[in-house]
A = this chain, B = another copy of it.
Amino acid sequence: MASYNLLLLPGDGIGPEVMAEVEKLVRWFTKTGIARFETEKDLVGGCAYDAHGVAITDAAMDRAQAADAVLFGAVGGPKWDKVPYEHRPEAGLLRLRKDLGLFANLRPAICYPALADASSLKRELVEGLDIVIVRELTGGVYFGEPKEIVTLENGEKRAVDTQLYTTHEIERIARVAFELAKVRRNKVSSAEKRNVMRTGVLWNEVVTRVHKEEYPDVELEHVLADNCGMQLVRNPKQYDVIVTDNLFGDILSDVAAMLTGSLGMLPSASLGAEDPATGKRKALYEPVHGSAPDIAGKGLANPIAMIGSFAMALRYSFGLVKEADMLEKAIANVLDSGLRTKDIAGPGVNAVGTGEVGDAIVKEM
């Protein structure tokens, strides 16, 4: 039986609750003998700060480096609003992304048919929606230097962030987008602000060249990031794969996720480069939703995004494609059966708890 190393980082808020449901599936896999997952667990975010004074320890980073994949819950909450900037909960996530070299963030925005009415958009605009945002995750304004606040002579402060992209950073994320489009609907939309930003000019230039030289058969369009935000609201189905930088990707993927009405349902994958020697790539999987401190600890959270993230891990990190399909089908079946957590219950439907949804999915398997 194949054996894999999985690091679980539940984090804060509803993170531990939704991770517990994935652990049920891990046990199911071991029991059925399909695959064995050796799991380790560690702290990240606010809970790591409370325990160790940092958002993630070096030891946890070492474990992440050694793991075949990392499953990440969520971080943050009002409790840590006042911790020093470099130790804020998000710093743990950012360090994981950067140090593991997870430059490609895949964020599907799928509208589950059973949930189309939960969208704030009209049903016909989102029914059947299936797009992926490919977000660059280790560059741009998130990591560029200088990044500082200085006090000027006149007593004022001046804050600086630096948006920075080099050719190869754009090339490799463009390739991820084109490869993905090839197995989907064959269309890439590249979003930037070339009319204002030099990084947008370079982005546009490099994506255009990679397209011409390596993927001439994929349809490519360029769209200004502000217009992309508009178009996502106007007619999201015009898109297939959207490739964009770290900051635009942050906002546009949140807008796209919200369109689906299925925010508590959306998984994401953050992937590194393939190691030419082993064919392996570092990877972290996390739900698109946040730590939702308001409902944490109450057993109300929807575990489907977290479980869907595990399905993505099966697919991308462990090559268990059939099993990933199976798990995604199990999720869909449970939804079809009418079982819902509160966030997607809709009027008149009796909502069930986090654990019940997880149990039902295991049972479907």
Q: Are A120 and B235 in contact (CB under 8 A)?
A: yes
Residues of B within 8 A of A149 (CB): 198, 201-202
Contact residues, A224-268 vs B (CB, 8 A): 225-227, 229-230, 232-235, 247-248, 250-252, 254-255, 257-259, 263
Q: Are A198 and B160 in contact (CB under 8 A)?
A: yes
Distance in Å from the Cβ of A32 to the closest Cβ of chain B?
38
Of the listed stretches A63-71, A139-147, A315-323, chain B binds A139-147
Q: Are A159 and B230 in contact (CB under 8 A)?
A: no
Whether A198 touches B147, Cβ cut-off 8 Å, given contacts A122-B120, A158-B166, is yes
Distance in Å from the Cβ of A264 to the closest Cβ of chain B?
12
Return the chain B residue nearest A152 by Cβ.
Answer: B166
**At the interface, yes or no: A125 with Cβ under 8 Å from chain B?**
yes
Residues of B within 8 A of A232 (CB): 255
A227–B85 Cα gap in the complex (Å)?
Answer: 20
Of the listed stretches A14-22, A189-197, A277-285, A325-333, chain B binds A189-197
**At the interface, yes or no: A163 with Cβ under 8 Å from chain B?**
yes
**At the interface, yes or no: A3 with Cβ under 8 Å from chain B?**
no
Whether A250 touches B162, Cβ cut-off 8 Å, given contacts A120-B125, A120-B234, is no
Distance in Å from the Cβ of A201 to the closest Cβ of chain B?
6
Residues of B within 8 A of A165 (CB): 158-159
| A residues contacting the other copy or chain, number (CB 8 A) | 58
Q: Are B251 and A225 in contact (CB under 8 A)?
A: yes
Q: Are A193 and B120 in contact (CB under 8 A)?
A: no
**Cross-interface CB contact of A168 among B156, B201, B230, cutoff 8 Å:** B156
Whether A159 touches B198, Cβ cut-off 8 Å, given contacts A255-B229, A259-B233, is yes
Q: Are A198 and B161 in contact (CB under 8 A)?
A: yes
**At the interface, yes or no: A157 with Cβ under 8 Å from chain B?**
yes
Distance in Å from the Cβ of A145 to the closest Cβ of chain B?
10
Residues of B within 8 A of A198 (CB): 85, 147-149, 159-161
Q: Are A163 and B166 in contact (CB under 8 A)?
A: no
Residues of B within 8 A of A273 (CB): none
**At the interface, yes or no: A76 with Cβ under 8 Å from chain B?**
yes
Kindly report how many copies of this chain are found in the complex they form together: 2
A157–B94 Cα gap in the complex (Å)?
Answer: 25
Distance in Å from the Cβ of A265 to the closest Cβ of chain B?
14
Q: Are B163 and A163 in contact (CB under 8 A)?
A: yes
A198–B161 Cα gap in the complex (Å)?
Answer: 6
Distance in Å from the Cβ of A131 to the closest Cβ of chain B?
15
Residues of B within 8 A of A350 (CB): none
**At the interface, yes or no: A30 with Cβ under 8 Å from chain B?**
no
Distance in Å from the Cβ of A290 to the closest Cβ of chain B?
8
Q: Are B159 and A162 in contact (CB under 8 A)?
A: no
A214–B229 Cα gap in the complex (Å)?
Answer: 34
**At the interface, yes or no: A356 with Cβ under 8 Å from chain B?**
no
**At the interface, yes or no: A187 with Cβ under 8 Å from chain B?**
no
Q: Are A159 and B122 in contact (CB under 8 A)?
A: no
Residues of B within 8 A of A167 (CB): 156-158
Which 3 pairs from chain A and chain B are nearest by CB? A159-B202, A156-B167, A230-B258
12 more contacts with CB within 8 A, not counting A225-B250, A230-B258, are A94-B196, A142-B196, A157-B166, A159-B197, A160-B163, A160-B198, A225-B251, A226-B250, A230-B255, A233-B255, A248-B251, A251-B251
